[in-house]
Chain A
């Protein structure tokens, strides 16, 4: 109550200042009058009485001031005064203010935004039950360290039944996930992920609507749980979806639940999860079905001991596996789930984020250094002002408060813009999907980091902003004023400014080198010749419903008709089909046998690709030998194949491959022998283990007419805009069969560009950060030199009067500036040599200490520094001696 009254009273005196002052005045006046009347009654005359009262009771004005400053509102009044004065001072030097505020904002904003990403990806626990104990169980191919493949379903069954290391174990696979969902008459290609019954309970996430898989579902035919986003977008958030049925690749499936909006697992694009039942292919062919295995370790069980146990269990699986099964070639390994998520999102994502984080910390540091430098410079300029104000009776605390307010004003402005910048940055990052991030946590502004950045910059502002006040109270006022206002140069602050500049230059040298390496890498990687012409190509995927297209001739007839229809469209120059479009080279590799040769030792990966005849012409892959597929190659005629140069080089290096017979399997396998009829050039493709660079895989091309699957991609070469063809393509397909979804329509350039997304993102990001620091460093150099010149104006004037050449003065200033820069560059180069090594996995075609790049970076830094030095040096040279001598 009394607080409220005090508040309302105080506010009254704040906002009705005049009236309150008037009342006080009248009351005090009355008080003094009454006291004087008392004296006059004792016989004094009025004048003496008033004087005596003043002596006894105090002067009217002083009393008013005392009463006024006793309330809390007086604090606000002086604060308001200080703020207005501070704002006026900042407005008077708009350049200084803008640079300081922008610097602070960039420092706070950039570091907060980047750390928010680092936090979401690398630091925060996954939003699942017992997240710190969740692991992924991969298999590695024996003899090929570093490979990570799925285990067999049999392994999962064995692990699940007999392990003692895990609380829960679940299987999930995205190895063959594309299915066709028919809903309200139209086909959708969906990412349906088969999962075992305990997948959701492993993660401990209940459904948002309905329920997740339960043991009762095992006996049913097909049970699905929907992803929230899929339900929202593809199924139009249909109400009553739980309990209804969907048609998934011809099978009717019961929907038992919808997951919460926030729920994500790998792959993030999952549309729905289907339950693996004893009737499914997984249980029927457990050795030939592959699954990812995920588990939660029991508390206290290490990944190492779990792995040892699984290795033993895997040996049992190997023993009962059919002879020659691939299962004997793999060994299970246990890895931390979050690490694996990060790895799957981007092979170098972890190290890239750490590098960018280090870079952004540099930016924050440089921002602080710059603001410190700016404020130091200002303190030298304002030294006299402070001294004069102290001499005029401004109390020390009042002075400190004024300067404090001014620094706070800067800090608050910088912080506000910094927060805006961070929020905008994170929003932009989330909305554009610049790069794939692992599932689980969403990127949100991290309040701790924001707080830390604000603390750091504010502390810098305050410490360096208060220096002049501190000095003002230290310095002998007489000394300062006697020196006709010439500023006393503090050797200490001059050294500090120089050190700050050296530090800035060194840090920006390191960042520039790092950014240069990343940019050079992406430029080189993007300009690698792919072996074919990737421009003007439209690509799309098709998925045939397996029920309607169960026979090979049904499929190849459809393909033939589609190619024929599309070929006659205007601007189309060629149409081909292909089961595995570039750039990604994945899927299972095949065994290989060559007729008449001994079984191949150390088989390199060989991949089979089904194509239509025109594929090489459409892509522009050169034909090296033999002939293309044509109408002679049908179902029932002699099985044929075309191999690429890499394949010919690996297995037919000494002989002509044409006419040779190969088999994509072991020699005793029943599949037919293929006769090689042609050799083509290599395609540059990508593999999952290698982010920076392409491979030239050994490929065997088979004619669609002899071995076509139900899922195939289409590639069209056009004279015009490739994407302009996507509509006609969709229409043609739905005219031929409206139950075949066309999806993933992109140009070939887009497909390759997606592969480059991570490297490009980090190159751009580092480039921006390096540019920023570079700019900040240039501002720092310029600022310090300008202060040097203004401090030494008189000295320069004397030199010029005594006959020094202007160019000598110019050189003097330039030497001072470039001296600092030189030291900074040397330190920076040493630092860069040490640090760029950490980035070697992110480089392509360039070493981490590439001499040419380092020279180029050094030269560009020096040339900008030269400009930053040149302007103040020129200013010094042009100083008229008479002005300089009088300069105060």
Chain B
């Protein structure tokens, strides 16, 4: 979406969500907040993109969900990584590192 502070590279959002969930299971809002904190406010996500991504990840079997009570005793859907999700996160992270390094090399040489 164009009105977001910064456009995410296609497919990156999924990876970031997986990374967020690698620490502990979290509900939707918590994920959004943590992404903002970690990116120091660069990524401010609207609910639409976030929840579409949740749906996609669930259907790919990378995350699963569970209704639980929050610290404020509110009911919320908590998302957690599956084994497959963890595997995917590792491989994506490696791949991302490779690509970033490659791009950096190209940018330096020119």
Question: Which A residues have a C-beta under 8 Å from some C-beta of B?
Answer: 1-2, 5-6, 9-10, 23-24, 26-28, 30-35, 37-38, 56-58, 62-63, 66-67, 70-71
Can you pick out 13 interface pairs between chain A and chain B where the beta carbons lie within 8 Å of each other?
A5-B61, A27-B76, A31-B29, A32-B47, A34-B29, A34-B76, A38-B33, A56-B44, A57-B47, A58-B46, A62-B48, A66-B48, A66-B52
Contact residues of A: prevailing secondary structure: helix
The CA-CA distance from A38 to B34 in the complex, in Å, is 13
Instruction: List, in ascending order, chain A residues with CB within 8 A of B61's CB.
Output: 1-2, 5
The CA-CA distance from A62 to B46 in the complex, in Å, is 11
Q: Chain B 59-85, CB within 8 Å of chain A: the 1/0 string?
A: 111000000001010111100000000
> Told that A1-B61, A66-B48, A67-B51 touch, could you supply 17 new A-B pairs with CB distance under 8 A?
A2-B59, A2-B60, A5-B58, A5-B61, A6-B59, A23-B77, A30-B27, A30-B29, A56-B46, A57-B32, A57-B47, A62-B48, A63-B47, A63-B48, A63-B51, A66-B51, A71-B59
Any A CB within 8 A of the CB of B99: no
Name the 5 nearest CB pairs between A and B, nearest first: A6-B59, A66-B48, A34-B29, A70-B52, A58-B46
B46 close to A34 (CB less than 8 A): no
CB distance from B3 to the nearest CB of A (A): 10
The CA-CA distance from A24 to B54 in the complex, in Å, is 11
The CA-CA distance from A56 to B41 in the complex, in Å, is 13
B77 close to A9 (CB less than 8 A): no
B48 close to A9 (CB less than 8 A): no
Any A CB within 8 A of the CB of B98: no
Instruction: List, in ascending order, chain A residues with CB within 8 A of B76's CB.
Output: 27, 30, 34
Residue among B45, B56, B77 making CB contact with A27, cutoff 8 Å? B77
A34 close to B51 (CB less than 8 A): no
Any A CB within 8 A of the CB of B55: yes
B48 close to A27 (CB less than 8 A): no
CB distance from B55 to the nearest CB of A (A): 6
With A26-B75, A66-B52 as known contacts, state yes or no: A31 contacts B47, CB within 8 Å: yes
Nearest to A5 among chain B residues (CB) is B61
The CA-CA distance from A24 to B51 in the complex, in Å, is 9
Any A CB within 8 A of the CB of B25: no
The CA-CA distance from A26 to B59 in the complex, in Å, is 20
The CA-CA distance from A63 to B55 in the complex, in Å, is 13
Nearest to A65 among chain B residues (CB) is B48
Q: Chain B 1-45, CB within 8 Å of chain A: the 1/0 string?
A: 000000000000000000000000001110011000000000011
B55 close to A34 (CB less than 8 A): no
Instruction: List, in ascending order, chain B residues with CB within 8 A of A56's CB.
Output: 44, 46
CB distance from A885 to the nearest CB of B (A): 52
CB distance from B14 to the nearest CB of A (A): 13
A30 close to B59 (CB less than 8 A): no
B59 close to A9 (CB less than 8 A): yes
B55 close to A58 (CB less than 8 A): no
The CA-CA distance from A34 to B59 in the complex, in Å, is 26
B28 close to A58 (CB less than 8 A): no
The CA-CA distance from A56 to B29 in the complex, in Å, is 13
The CA-CA distance from A26 to B77 in the complex, in Å, is 9
The CA-CA distance from A2 to B62 in the complex, in Å, is 9
Nearest to B76 among chain A residues (CB) is A30
Nearest to B59 among chain A residues (CB) is A6
With A2-B59, A5-B59, A70-B56 as known contacts, state yes or no: A30 contacts B48, CB within 8 Å: no
The CA-CA distance from A254 to B69 in the complex, in Å, is 91
CB distance from B33 to the nearest CB of A (A): 8
B29 close to A67 (CB less than 8 A): no
The CA-CA distance from A779 to B70 in the complex, in Å, is 71
A35 close to B60 (CB less than 8 A): no
With A28-B51, A70-B52 as known contacts, state yes or no: A33 contacts B74, CB within 8 Å: yes
Instruction: List, in ascending order, chain A residues with CB within 8 A of B29's CB.
Output: 30-31, 34-35
Instruction: List, in ascending order, chain B residues with CB within 8 A of A10's CB.
Output: 59
The CA-CA distance from A31 to B74 in the complex, in Å, is 11
**Residue from A23, A26, A27, A71 with most neighbouring chain B CB atoms (10 Å):** A27
CB distance from A9 to the nearest CB of B (A): 5
Instruction: List, in ascending order, chain A residues with CB within 8 A of B47's CB.
Output: 28, 31-32, 57-58, 63
The CA-CA distance from A70 to B50 in the complex, in Å, is 12
CB distance from A628 to the nearest CB of B (A): 98
Nearest to A28 among chain B residues (CB) is B47
With A63-B51, A66-B52 as known contacts, state yes or no: A30 contacts B46, CB within 8 Å: no
The CA-CA distance from A37 to B45 in the complex, in Å, is 17
The CA-CA distance from A6 to B70 in the complex, in Å, is 28
Instruction: List, in ascending order, chain B residues with CB within 8 A of A38's CB.
Output: 33
The CA-CA distance from A26 to B76 in the complex, in Å, is 8
B48 close to A67 (CB less than 8 A): yes
A31 close to B28 (CB less than 8 A): yes
Instruction: List, in ascending order, chain A residues with CB within 8 A of B28's CB.
Output: 27, 30-31
CB distance from A542 to the nearest CB of B (A): 81
Residue among B51, B58, B70 making CB contact with A9, cutoff 8 Å? B58
Instruction: List, in ascending order, chain B residues with CB within 8 A of A23's CB.
Output: 77
Instruction: List, in ascending order, chain B residues with CB within 8 A of A2's CB.
Output: 59-61
With A27-B77, A34-B29, A57-B47 as known contacts, state yes or no: A67 contacts B52, CB within 8 Å: yes
CB distance from B10 to the nearest CB of A (A): 14
Nearest to B45 among chain A residues (CB) is A57
With A30-B27, A30-B74 as known contacts, state yes or no: A58 contacts B59, CB within 8 Å: no
Instruction: List, in ascending order, chain B residues with CB within 8 A of A66's CB.
Output: 48, 51-52
The CA-CA distance from A35 to B55 in the complex, in Å, is 20
The CA-CA distance from A403 to B37 in the complex, in Å, is 49
The CA-CA distance from A33 to B51 in the complex, in Å, is 15
Instruction: List, in ascending order, chain A residues with CB within 8 A of B33's CB.
Output: 38
Residue among A37, A57, A67 making CB contact with B55, cutoff 8 Å? A67
B74 close to A70 (CB less than 8 A): no
Nearest to B62 among chain A residues (CB) is A2
CB distance from A876 to the nearest CB of B (A): 56
**Residue from B28, B44, B47, B75 with most neighbouring chain A CB atoms (10 Å):** B47
**Residue from B45, B72, B77 with most neighbouring chain A CB atoms (10 Å):** B77
The CA-CA distance from A66 to B1 in the complex, in Å, is 12
Instruction: List, in ascending order, chain A residues with CB within 8 A of B45's CB.
Output: 57
Nearest to B74 among chain A residues (CB) is A30
CB distance from B32 to the nearest CB of A (A): 8
The CA-CA distance from A57 to B28 in the complex, in Å, is 12
The CA-CA distance from A67 to B50 in the complex, in Å, is 9
With A30-B27, A35-B29 as known contacts, state yes or no: A58 contacts B74, CB within 8 Å: no
CB distance from A686 to the nearest CB of B (A): 75
The CA-CA distance from A31 to B70 in the complex, in Å, is 12
The CA-CA distance from A129 to B37 in the complex, in Å, is 80
Residue among A6, A58, A63 making CB contact with B60, cutoff 8 Å? A6
The CA-CA distance from A880 to B60 in the complex, in Å, is 66
Nearest to A60 among chain B residues (CB) is B47
Nearest to B1 among chain A residues (CB) is A58
CB distance from B15 to the nearest CB of A (A): 17
The CA-CA distance from A2 to B47 in the complex, in Å, is 24
Instruction: List, in ascending order, chain B residues with CB within 8 A of A9's CB.
Output: 58-59
The CA-CA distance from A710 to B54 in the complex, in Å, is 94
